[in-house]
Amino acid sequence: MTIEEAHDLSAVTIEMLLGKLLTHEMAMKNYESDDDSQKKKFVAFKSSSKDESDNDEEDDEEFIVLARKFKSFLRKDKIKNQGQ
């Protein structure tokens, strides 16, 4: 609704007109800042399969070490049982 539609222009004072214009400007700034804040809410994540393959390699190495230790344990246990 425009000022002309809301009020008789002959009865509108300069102070009233200035107040309405300032109110309109503040409302427009709030509207623009709301649009800016909505645009800033988007977040993107980058994924990489390289990290996953690194973890697989680490897991493989850990498995090999564990298998060797277990094999060594079984040998020691077998030798221990043969001596009894």
> Domain segments of the chain: what residues?
3-39, 45-84
Whole-model pTM?
Answer: 0.34
What phi, psi does 42 have (nearest 5°)? Answer: -80, 135
Is residue 68 very low, low, confident or very high in pLDDT (cuts 50, 70, 90)?
A: very high
Higher pLDDT: 13 or 1? It is 13
Helices marked H in the chain = 3-6, 14-39, 49-82
Find out whether 3 and 9 touch, Cβ atoms under 8 Å: yes
Task: Please give the structure tokens belonging to residue 44.
Answer: 């993107």
Q: Which residues contact 16 (CB under 8 A, 6 or more apart)?
A: 7
